[in-house]
Structure 1
Amino acid sequence: MNHYDLLRGLHILAIIAWMAGLLYLPRLFINHIANRDKPQVVEVLSGMERRLLRFIMNPAMIAAWLFGVGLIYSNVHDRFGWKFFYEPWFVVKMIGIVLITGYHHFLAVRFKKLQRGEDIGSEKFWRIANEIPAVIAIVMVIAVTSEMFTI
């Protein structure tokens, strides 16, 4: 196994962990909102939300970024040079990364508000918002794996 394959594998694993958190945290928010009148349930959900964000989502996001930068470096210096930067799939992926990272930070801010007892939206809002990372991921995977996004 060469270093590129190792980086790619670690990047994929980090993305899987990050996406799992991005899809699960809004579900915890829904349960938190639905049970806000039950202090014991809220306490358990708050702990789950905090641990998910702190011990899974944040490290996975950082790892995904670091391994992704490593892949870019490897592509530039060992494989293709700078030309892949102009490929439509790469542009779509970069836009997706910015959107997913922004969504991660949106969730982190909402978590802090929820911990302070502030309103973060309805269950319906979070059911809809929960689909955002999945849609972005679908677009990114299709862009990266499809020939229609290649010059």
Structure 2
Amino acid sequence: MYLWLKAFHIFFVVAWFAGLFYLPRLFVYHVDARDPGAHERFCVMERRLYVMTTLGMIGTWLLGIGLLLSGPEVYLKAGWLHAKLALVLALSGYHGWLKTQLRALAQQRSQRSAGFYRAMNEVPTLLLLAVVILVVVKPF
């Protein structure tokens, strides 16, 4: 059962990160869009992607908890796992921040530039790299 949980956990992680990578990129295009219909089009795309991304996050969390409950107890004492969970909390916070930006863009009250969103687009990449290193290398 553990390997099934792990397989589906990885699937939902990939789904979550697909949205975390692409949503800020949509924000870049949204901020730069000038034609009249673009605002509504981007609002629809961003809202739909956010829903799918949220489903990925929920699946990641639920299956991750399932892995913790069904896995070896030694994992609960592993320092690398605690660090990973802290990064997952940070990613969840980033996910919530994306929602605030989505709302601000939808209400046309965002003061952020395309460059800002380009920079923020790198946050999940760096966090994913750290998570993968922690899970594979288990440095502590």
Q: TM-score, normalised by structure 2?
A: 0.95
Q: How much does 1:99 deviate?
A: 0.5
Q: Matches of 2:47 and 2:133 in 1, distance apart? A: 32
Structure-2 residue corresponding to 1:26:
24
Match for 2:5 among 4, 7, 22?
7
Kindly provide the amino acid, as one letter, of the partner of residue 10 in structure 1: F
Q: Matches of 1:34 and 1:15 in 2, distance apart? A: 30
Q: Deviations over 1:76-107 (max 9, x none)?
A: xxxx22x3222121011111110100000000
Q: Matches of 1:108 and 1:9 in 2, distance apart? A: 28
Q: How much does 1:65 deviate?
A: 0.5
Structure-1 residue corresponding to 2:120:
129
**How many residues are paired up?**
140
Unpaired runs of 5+ residues, structure 2, are none
Give 1 or 2 for the bigger CA radius of gyration.
1
CA gap of 1:147–1:72, structure 2 versus 1, over 3 A, is closer
Q: TM-score, normalised by structure 1?
A: 0.89
Match for 2:106 among 115, 133, 140?
115
Q: Which has the higher contact order (CA 8 A, sep 6+)?
A: 2
